[in-house]
Amino acid sequence: MDKSLIIRAFGKFFAGLAVVGLLLFLPAGTLRFWNGWLLMALLFVPMLIAGILLMFRDPELLKKRLNAKEDEREQKIVVVLSGVMFLAAFAVAGLNFRFSWLVLPPWAVWIAAAVFLAAYAMYGEVLRENTFLSRTVEIQAQQAVIDTGLYGVIRHPMYSATVLLFLSMGIVLGSPISFAILLFYIPIIVLRIKNEEAVLLQGLEGYDAYCKKVTYRLLPFVW
């Protein structure tokens, strides 16, 4: 067992837990923001389980998932825009709860929670199918095109899962305003996909043929 990997993984996990907690509960002005606790449970409990499983079953994939440093200029822009988007969405959700601006009913929150978990399951399936799934846009040694399972339906099932995850977050938090902010993830992820495909077409053998075979990127019959 790689002790440095364990320390790094748990360090990032608890740092993320602390940052999200501060972004949610400080603007809310209270720890009684139940939507915030629900989101943190939905987000971090499966993340912890998945991280532990990867630690034992596929530590190399875990290392790739922990590496978030982008080399491509376009991807650095995507990272910055995504960070600003999440900061705004979480802070607004806390303020929305604090001042009761536009509060969604509990039934909508629980439906969104179910969508969130379904998207998390899809994300887990993508991790199982693709061991080359780095968080950064790059061509890895001995990387091959994956064209089975979800990759036989759409080219970027991981991004499809994240779209569902992120859009459902605003509803889980009970804030229509946060949901509207998180809609900006769609043009952000389109920018990331276009740059990623340009890199893959240039450096990954067989990717051009794969694009001709699987024509949809995010959503079948749409794009």
Residue 198: CATH number of its domain: 1.20.120.1630
pLDDT at 140: 57
Report the number of distinct structural domains present in the chain.
1
Residue 199 to residue 5: CA distance in whole angstroms: 28
Count of CA atoms in the C-beta half-sphere (13 A) of 143: 18
Evaluate whether residue 22 is within a structural domain.
yes
Evaluate whether residue 219 is within a structural domain.
no
Evaluate whether residue 113 is within a structural domain.
yes
Evaluate whether residue 218 is within a structural domain.
no
Neighbours of 49 (CB within 10 A): 11
Evaluate whether residue 91 is within a structural domain.
yes
Q: What is the pLDDT along the chain (223 residues), one digit of tens a residue?
A: 577 888 888 888 999 999 999 999 999 999 999 999 999 999 999 888 888 887 887 777 777 667 666 666 777 788 889 899 999 999 999 999 999 999 899 999 999 999 999 998 998 888 788 766 655 555 555 677 888 888 989 999 999 999 999 999 999 999 999 999 999 999 999 988 988 888 888 878 888 888 989 999 998 888 8
Single-letter amino acid code for the residue at 51: G
pLDDT digits (tens, 9 = 90+) for 93-119: 999 999 999 989 999 999 999 999 999
Nearest one of 49, 208, 34, 185 to 110, comparing CA atoms? 34
178 backbone φψ class: left, alpha, beta (φ>0; ψ -120 to 50)? alpha
DSSP code at position 220: T
Structural domain that includes position 98 = 3-213
Evaluate whether residue 221 is within a structural domain.
no
Evaluate whether residue 152 is within a structural domain.
yes
Strand runs labelled E in the chain: none
Evaluate whether residue 153 is within a structural domain.
yes
pLDDT at 31: 95
Helix, strand and coil percent figures for the chain, each rounded to 5:
75, 0, 25
Percentage of the chain beyond pLDDT 90 is: 50
pLDDT at 69: 64
